[in-house]
Amino acid sequence: MATTRNQPSARRFWSWFIPIRRDIGSWAFALNRITALGLTFYLFLHLIVLGLLAQGPGAYDSFLALTENPFIKLGEWAVVAAAILHGLNGIRIVLTSFGVGVTRQKQLFYGFMVIAIVVILFFTTKMYIG
Amino acid sequence: MSEKWNIILRIYRQKEGEAPHMDNFQMEVNPDEYVIDAVERAWAFHDRTICFRHACHHSTCGACGMRVNGVEKLTCITLIRDVTYDGATLKVEPLRNFPVVSDLAVDMGLFYRKMEKVDARAVLPVTEAEIENPPRKWASEDSEYIRLSDCIECGLCISACPIMATTPEYLGPAPLAAAQDHGIHRKPELLSIVDCEDGVWRCHSAFECTAVCPSFVDPARRIMDLRKQVVGTRLSKLIGKA
Amino acid sequence: MSKPHVIVIGAGFTGVATAHDLALRGCDVTVVERGDICHGTSGRTHGLLHSGGRYAVKDKESAVECIDENLILRKIVPQVIEPNGGLFIGLNESDLAYAEQFIESCEECHIPLEELKPQDALKLEPNINPKVLTAFLIPDGTFDPLRLALAFAGTAKHNGAKFRTYHEVQGFVMDGQGNVCGVKVLDRAANKTEEMRADVVVNATGAWSGEVTAMAGLDAPVKPTPGIMVAYDQRFVQRALNRLNVPSDGDIILPQRRMVVVGTTSYDAENVDYIPVTDDQIKLMLERGSELIPGIRNSKPRGIYMAARPLVGGGSGRSMARTFKCYDHKETHNIDGLVTITGGKATTLRAMAEKTADVVCAKLDITTPCVTKETPLLSYRQYYASPN
Amino acid sequence: MSRSTLSSPVSGPRPGENTWIWLIKIITGPLLVIVLGLHFVVNHYLGSMSSGLMTYDDVIRYFQNPIIPAIEILFLVTVVTHSLIGLRGIVLDMNPTRTTLTIITWLLVFLGVSAIVYGIWLALTIASLGS
């Protein structure tokens, strides 16, 4: 007699990415998932692009010129940022999974995010001003 | 001393075969009352068709879990003062990830069946090691007293867990925490139940369950500990074989 | 010959226990409840597995019922009980004066009792009032209200009983001769009404039994007598704590999970559907409770609630007997097919069910005896194991 | 797709995940942080371009020392394993049917293996270009 509304269903997977009124852990989970998808996409793009190396200097170096294009550069910045965020959050998950700091997982997350921002700023200056 | 607030109690309504909608009830409440009292008064004086589940009114039975303003709460110990203010609305919806029987009442049958599958302990010795360390100081340490376990099977963690929202097959925080409470070494048959696709490996460390747990169970931490137990058991089995 | 069909109205302690007993005696039982299990008074008890000590002096009949049932429940449903015993403590002269009568009455009701010297009591329970003058160990205990009911309901369901929750009885179906042969029910989850036929209808609605019998034009002498209970967020004691005096307000403190529950008061009420909690009663609980356990003053309330006891018979409040009554309305009002059971304590739910089932079986000339005394109940989760 | 769980019994343990898959993901994770850190440094410091990126010749020269292709291949294997196991975890959260899961698992394995083979071939060819 109960309806099937409100039940677990994978159709509402976008709810992972909008953890409003949820705890910091869910934001970390959403952040981790978005960065993971981005990085995996970049990984295979990166492999294909490096294939140009095999076709000799002309193809590769001309592609390199593209990195001056602001959009591509921004894309690369996003990849760097995503890698740092995902990496540090991953460390938090590894630590808590083995019981280290599991009672202070929030502080761990905030701490890692501060480090992430510092490192990202460093790379940003390196990429844009350096 | 009893202050009076005028609030709008906004309740999720749904009868079988009808589309769900929200009903508003203008109510005068005492802010030091609990949310369940407001819901019960809405039933008693405003609309007798409101269905909701409640029993003990002091967080020992686990029947009155609902989402209050979007966050899972035990409505019997949630003061109205803590979740709204004078002249505002108080939105009450059923828990997520459970089939809705009607309005605020959900069917927690599958969740209880999962607790039964891991044979969750209903009563345990008072001096059993507490999750916190140093363990809470009980009145008399060396006693052999028995108390009801911390987990009151209220389902808040099931509603809050993002992974529970993906599949009904996932065991969920409370059953996994109950498995950890047993310990794989004490109950080896739990290994195959928790070391699987619907067990400890689906948890993605959102820690939502611990954020909403009203009864000191800290399921997230227990899941992490359970993972260590499973990895330890699997490795020792592997090394044992090698 | 198909099994006789019995409808039980109300899924509180009495209703689920009666369903369990009748299912064991070969009846086809349907429990009809407007809310869910323990929706009424049963849920909002403080959870005292009564040893009868509190009523030994003034209400021996219900005291004996309590101690017998206390020992049975510990055997048949241990997984919902904190069996840590109880303590009666005397704090002033009038308490000491009461001790004499208390010992005699307990022995008379065969309630096991052991007097403790104050320092021994303080050793067992360090958080009680240090000014304790005398103390008695007694076999009290506490239970989880919902799970006690679910254990009975789960076992009943396992033995074939069906549960229709969120079904509200709106009237009786009468046959030609003015006898009850069914109930008119509103399925509140689907907003549909239906009629259910039965050989016997049992009215086990406790404090609401007056309202239900009124639907058949009768009145049941039940007097809803509410009492307040306040739960605090620390487990100060392992045992149930009682004040050694004539039963009065705020003289019971019970441990439950990581809390203590302070109870209770006793006064008359008209509207049973909603009984407001009043500030003066909350203060009274804090005051009286901190006499027994001073530590309560610096703990926080975690749930304050009111529950209406279904007391039967004359008088009011404290003076009323705590025993239970079972009426076969064939004898009382010459209306066949309706039996009302009300009164009693939470602890005596099995005995109330046995008596009701005896009356129902007599009407249906079923001879199988009651076996609930020695039938262990299944896990309370069994109620959810087999869907309806 | 979500049927009512009103009467559904608790299903048997489904074998889609186990300790080893998780352990590999958890071990490759921190390993990646180290190797990726190295990779960032190399990409943004040793290159001759102003942004530090490496031109074609930089790459060839960089690959002469045989340890470099070894590190790059190790990096490739870890990152592909880690990301595809993670991706499979996300697919699991879509509650796939058994057949969908098996198909996707084999697809991911195929994708992973071909990426690794391609990467190794690429690294070796670049290393050989130099000589």
Q: Where in chain C is the domain with CATH 3.50.50.60?
A: 5-42+146-221+322-385
All residues of chain A having their beta carbon less than 8 Å from the beta carbon of residue B168 are 7-8
Question: Is residue B1 scored above 60 in pLDDT?
Answer: no
pLDDT tens for each residue of B57-70: 999 999 999 999 99
- Would you say C326 and C339 are in contact if contact means Cβ atoms under 8 Å apart? yes
Looking at residue A10, its pLDDT comes to: 63
Looking at residue C388, its pLDDT comes to: 59
Residue range C5-42+146-221+322-385 in CATH 3.10.105.10: no
Strand partners, C9: C32, C203
Looking at residue A59, its pLDDT comes to: 80
Q: Which chains touch B (3 or more CB pairs under 8 A)?
A: A, C, D
Measure CB to CB from residue A23 to each of B100, B204, B211 and give the nearest one.
Answer: B211
All residues of chain C having their beta carbon less than 8 Å from the beta carbon of residue A2 are 189
Task: Using pLDDT thresholds of 50, 70 and 90, give the confidence band for residue A2.
Answer: very low
Lowest mean pLDDT among B183-187, B226-230, D41-45: D41-45
> Could you tell me the domains of chain B?
5-106 (3.10.20.30), 109-121+150-241 (1.10.1060.10)
How many whole angstroms separate alpha carbon C362 and alpha carbon B41? 41
All residues of chain A having their beta carbon less than 8 Å from the beta carbon of residue B101 are 1-2
State the SS3 of D2-21.
Answer: CCCCCCCCCCCCCCCCCHHH
**What is the pLDDT averaged over residues D53-61?**
81
How many whole angstroms separate alpha carbon C357 and alpha carbon B142? 44
Q: Is C74 exposed, middle or buried (0-12, 13-18, 19+ CB in 10 A)?
A: middle
Question: Per the structure block, which two tokens stand in for B24?
Answer: 């508003």
In the chain, the amino acid numbered C110 is: H
Task: Say which CATH class C48-143+223-312 falls into.
Answer: alpha beta
Tell me how many residue pairs between chain B and chain C have CB atoms under 8 A apart: 172
Q: Give the closest-approach CA distance of D43 to chain B in angstroms.
A: 32
User: Which one has a higher pLDDT value, C341 or B125?
Assistant: C341
Measure CB to CB from residue B162 to each of A20, A29, A93 and give the nearest one.
Answer: A29
Longest dimension (CA), chain B: 72
What is the overall mean pLDDT for chain D?
84
Question: Is residue B159 scored above 80 in pLDDT?
Answer: yes
Question: Per the structure block, which two tokens stand in for A92?
Answer: 């938090």
Q: Which of residues 138-197 of C touch B (CB under 8 A)?
A: 144-147, 165-166, 188-191
- Would you say B42 and B183 are in contact if contact means Cβ atoms under 8 Å apart? no
- In CATH, which of 3.10.100, 3.40.600, 1.10.3470, 1.20.1300 is domain D19-130? 1.20.1300
- The DSSP string of chain B is ----EEEEEEEEE--TTS--EEEEEEEEE-TTSBHHHHHHHIIIII-TT-------SSSSS---EEEETTEEEETTS-BHHHH--TT-EEEEEPPTTS-EEETTEE--HHHHHHHHHTT--SEEETTSPPSSSSPP--SSTT---EEE-S-----HHHHH-TTTTT-TTS--HHHHHHHHHH-TTT-TTHHHHHSSTTTGGG-----HHHHH-SSS--HHHHHHHHHHHHHHHHHHHHHHH-
Measure CB to CB from residue D55 to each of A61, A88, A130 and give the nearest one.
Answer: A61
Is A87–D36 a contact, with Cβ atoms under 8 angstroms apart? yes
Interchain contact D131–B (C-beta under 8 A): no
All residues of chain A having their beta carbon less than 8 Å from the beta carbon of residue B99 are 2-7
pLDDT tens for each residue of D92-124: 888 888 899 999 999 999 999 999 999 999 888
Strand partners, C243: C89
**What is the pLDDT averaged over residues D20-47?**
87
All residues of chain B having their beta carbon less than 8 Å from the beta carbon of residue D13 are 192-193, 195-199
Among the listed residues C381, B207, A73, the one whose alpha carbon sits nearest the alpha carbon of residue D10 = C381
Which residue ranges make up each domain of chain D? 19-130
Question: How distant is the alpha carbon of residue C146 from its chain centre?
Answer: 11
Q: Give the closest-approach CA distance of A6 to chain B in angstroms.
A: 6
Beta C240-243 vs C86-90: how paired, if at all? parallel
Question: Per the structure block, which two tokens stand in for C25?
Answer: 């005696």
Q: Helix, strand or coil for residue A56? A: coil
Question: Is residue B181 scored above 80 in pLDDT?
Answer: yes
Looking at residue D46, its pLDDT comes to: 73
Q: Which chains touch C (3 or more CB pairs under 8 A)?
A: A, B
In the DSSP assignment, the letter for residue D44 is: I
Q: Give the closest-approach CA distance of B116 to chain D in angstroms.
A: 10
**What is the pLDDT averaged over residues D55-66?**
83
What is the overall mean pLDDT for chain C?
91
**What is the pLDDT averaged over residues A38-59?**
86
User: Which one has a higher pLDDT value, D93 or D129?
Assistant: D93
Question: Per the structure block, which two tokens stand in for B194?
Answer: 């928790």
In the DSSP assignment, the letter for residue C246 is: S
pLDDT in tens, chain C (388 residues): 588 999 999 999 999 999 999 999 999 999 999 999 999 999 999 899 999 998 899 888 889 989 999 999 999 999 999 999 999 999 999 999 999 999 999 999 999 999 999 999 999 999 999 999 999 999 999 999 999 999 999 999 999 999 999 999 999 999 988 899 999 999 999 889 999 999 999 999 999 998 999 998 888 778 888 999 999 999 999 999 999 998 889 999 999 999 999 998 988 888 888 888 889 999 999 999 999 999 999 999 999 999 898 888 766 666 666 778 888 888 888 889 999 998 888 999 999 999 999 999 999 999 999 999 999 999 999 999 876 5
What is the overall mean pLDDT for chain B?
90
- Would you say D25 and A97 are in contact if contact means Cβ atoms under 8 Å apart? no
pLDDT tens for each residue of B74-88: 999 999 999 999 999
Looking at residue B143, its pLDDT comes to: 61
In the chain, the amino acid numbered C198 is: A
- Which ipTM did the prediction report? 0.90
Interchain contact A103–D (C-beta under 8 A): no
Task: Using pLDDT thresholds of 50, 70 and 90, give the confidence band for residue B136.
Answer: low
> Could you tell me the domains of chain A?
23-128 (1.20.1300.10)
pLDDT tens for each residue of A76-128: 889 999 999 999 999 999 999 888 888 888 888 999 999 999 999 988 887 77
Looking at residue D41, its pLDDT comes to: 80
Looking at residue D129, its pLDDT comes to: 78
Contacts of C282 (CB under 8 A, 6+ apart): C228, C230, C301, C304
Task: Using pLDDT thresholds of 50, 70 and 90, give the confidence band for residue D3.
Answer: very low
